[in-house]
Amino acid sequence: MPELPEVETIRTALSDVLVGQSIEKLIFHRKDLRDPFPKSALRKILLHQEILSVERRSKYILINTKKGQAVVHLGMTGVFHYHDTEKPQVDHTHFVLAAKKQGQATKYLHYIDPRRFGRFGAIGQGAEKWLANLGPEPLNSFEELVESLFEKSRRRKQPIKSFIMDPKNVVGVGNIYAAEALFRTKLNPFKAAGLISKKSYEEMSRHIVDVLKEAIKQGGTTFRDFRDINGQSGYFRIHLDVYGREGEPCRRCKGRISREMMAGRSTFYCAGCQK
DNA sequence: CGGGCGGCCTGGAGGC
DNA sequence: TGCCTCCAGGCCGCCC
């Protein structure tokens, strides 16, 4: 489901409702998602502790207290819903955080994830491995991003789309935004990463940054499952040029948008103007 | 090592 | 109304 803009949308929302509050209850409705929940470590970090900040690294959300860091990944279909009740409202509600501010009514964050590709862990209990070997944050240093992508890509035959979707090279870019950034750069997604010039890496990096920032402003892209914690969709979908537009007219040339499989993922592009 | 593929899961859409 | 196949914003382990 979520790429950087969607995770950032959720991070902002969680920060708004959690920072300065404490978690009074942590209810688990199963023992695991992709990995077993480190329940006692999570309770130690979160229960009755002030939430100091909610950060994002790659597609991971970090919830910080003075006892440590809890880590959430939304997988493909993970969402948080903010409710007045702790009782699950839908199937696949896997854990619930009861959040309370002094003198206010308790509110509940329900984590719902039908496919269960998400994660909920703790730094020091395995989650630190999830964050090891991640490439640069695209919204941090632009120079570092360009330099890192160019250096890592030398002599690589991997298609550029797979290359930028690998979080070892740059984080946060998934199937939608890889397609969109390459369209804007007029780069064919199948072109070998090692054959692309430094100048093209600069242009592509600029488009990656721009498309991610624009999508954040629109609250992300909702294709199917993605929702903010109050249920709203993201509105970047109407700005997509290629993703999900197979057979529709290219907005730049007279071509039609193609869809081909690459490494098991649908790959949308315009064969007319992406060379 | 680099890179593709299948698997992890469930559910929605579309064909018959 | 089925029942089947394909597909889905991610990531990991396996295999060549």
What's the pLDDT tens digit per position in A189-220? 999 999 999 999 999 999 999 999 999 999 99
Nearest nucleotide to A115 by CA–C1' distance? Answer: B9
**What is the reported pLDDT for A43?**
98
**Cα–chain center distance at A219:** 12
> Which amino acid is it at A260?
E
Measured from the CB, is A83 under 7 Å from any atom of strand B? no
Positions of A annotated as catalytic residues are: 2-3, 59, 265
Provide the b/e sequence for A156-194 (b: ≥16 CB within 10 Å): bebbbbbbbbeeebbbbbbbbbbbbbbbbbbbbbebebe
Over residues A266-273, the mean pLDDT reads 97
Please name every residue paired with A55 in a beta bridge, in sequence order, or none if there are none: A62
**What is the reported pLDDT for A102?**
87
**What is the reported pLDDT for A48?**
98
Measured from the CB, is A265 under 7 Å from any atom of strand B? no
Q: How far apart are CA A160 and CA A34, in angstroms?
A: 29
Q: How far apart are CA A257 and CA A270, in angstroms?
A: 5
Whether A232 shows a pLDDT value over 90: the answer reads: yes
Q: How far apart are CA A251 and CA A244, in angstroms?
A: 14
Over residues A7-32, the mean pLDDT reads 98
Report the percentage of chain A scoring pLDDT > 90: 97
With H, G, I as helix, E, B as strand and everything else as coil, classify residue A246. Answer: coil
Closest CA to A74 of A124, A22, A7, A164: A7
Closest CA to A9 of A272, A234, A270: A234
pLDDT tens digits, one per residue of A108-156:
999 999 999 999 999 999 999 999 999 999 999 999 999 999 999 999 9
Specify whether the CB–CB gap between A247 and A254 falls below 8 A: no
Closest CA to A250 of A231, A236, A269, A267: A269
> Which amino acid is it at A225?
D
Q: How far apart are CA A199 and CA A201, in angstroms?
A: 5
Nearest nucleotide to A224 by CA–C1' distance? Answer: C8
Closest CA to A187 of A168, A206, A171: A206
- The DSSP output letter for A36 is B
| Residue listed under structure tokens 């509600």 | A93
> Which amino acid is it at A209?
V
Nearest nucleotide to A7 by CA–C1' distance? Answer: C9
* pTM for this predicted structure: 0.98
> Which amino acid is it at A226?
F
Question: How many separate helices (H) and strands (E) can be counted in chain A?
Answer: 7, 10
Write out which nucleotides of chain C lie closer than 7 A to a protein Cβ. 7-12
Q: And the tokens for A158? A: 């991997």
Q: How confident is the model at residue A177 (pLDDT cuts 50, 70, 90)?
A: very high
Q: And the tokens for A255? A: 């071509």
**What is the reported pLDDT for A101?**
85
pLDDT tens digits, one per residue of A81-104:
999 999 999 999 999 999 998 899
User: Is residue A247 within a helix (H) or strand (E), and if so which, with residue range?
Assistant: none
Q: And the tokens for A242? A: 């290629």
Write out which nucleotides of chain B lie closer than 7 A to a protein Cβ. 2-11
Whether A1 shows a pLDDT value over 80: the answer reads: no
